[in-house]
Amino acid sequence: MEERYENRGRSTLDKKKPKKKESYFDYSLLFITIFLLCFGVVMIYSASSYEAQDTFQDAYRYVKNQIMGIAVGVVISAVFLFCDYHVWSKFSFLIYIGSIIAILLVMTPLGIEANGARRWLNLGISSFQPAELAKLAVILILATVICAMGRMARTPKGVILLFFVGGLVSALILLVTRNLSSALIIAGITFCIIFVITKNYKLYVALVAVAGILGVVAVNIIRLSAGSGGGFRAARIIAWLNPEEYADTTAFQTLQALYAIGSGGFLGKGLGGSMQKLNFLPEAQNDMIFSIICEELGLFGAVAVLIMFILMIWRMMVIAGNAPDLFGALLVVGVMSQIAIQVILNVAVVTNSMPNTGISLPFISYGGTSVSFLIGEVALVLRVSSQIRLKEME
Q: Cβ distance 302 to 290 under 8 Å?
A: yes
Measure the CA angle with vertex 360, ends 333 and 255; round to 5°.
Answer: 135
Task: Quote the longest CA-to-CA distance of the chain.
Answer: 100
Q: Which pLDDT score is estimated for 301?
A: 93
Q: Which pLDDT score is estimated for 55?
A: 87
Q: Which pLDDT score is estimated for 164?
A: 92
Q: Tell me the C-alpha distance between 183 and 230, whole Å.
A: 20
Taking the CA atoms of 73, 74, 76 and 81 in sequence, report the sign of the dihedral they define.
positive
**Which three-class secondary structure state does DSSP give residue 121?**
strand
Q: Which pLDDT score is estimated for 228?
A: 47
Q: Which helix H or strand E contains 227, and what residues bound it?
A: none
Q: Which pLDDT score is estimated for 19?
A: 53
Q: Cβ distance 33 to 380 under 8 Å?
A: no
Q: Which pLDDT score is estimated for 205?
A: 74
Q: Which pLDDT score is estimated for 366?
A: 93
Q: How many C-beta neighbours within 10 Å does residue 246 have?
A: 18
Q: Which pLDDT score is estimated for 231?
A: 59
Q: Nearest Cα to 134, choosing from 89, 90, 104? A: 104
- Give the DSSP letter of residue 281: S
Q: Which pLDDT score is estimated for 306?
A: 96
Enumerate residues 6+ apart whose C-beta is below 8 A from 111.
Answer: 105, 118, 120, 121, 122
Q: At how many degrees (to 10) do helices 180-197 and 156-172 cross?
A: 160
Domain boundaries, the chain: 24-388
Rg for the chain (alpha carbons), in Å?
Answer: 24
Enumerate residues 6+ apart whose C-beta is below 8 A from 165.
Answer: 96, 138, 141, 142, 145, 190
Q: How many residues does the chain have?
A: 394
List the chain residues with pLDDT less than 50: 1-6, 8-18, 228-229, 392-394
One-letter amino acid at 45 equals Y
Q: Which pLDDT score is estimated for 370?
A: 92
What's the pTM?
0.88
Q: Which pLDDT score is estimated for 199?
A: 76
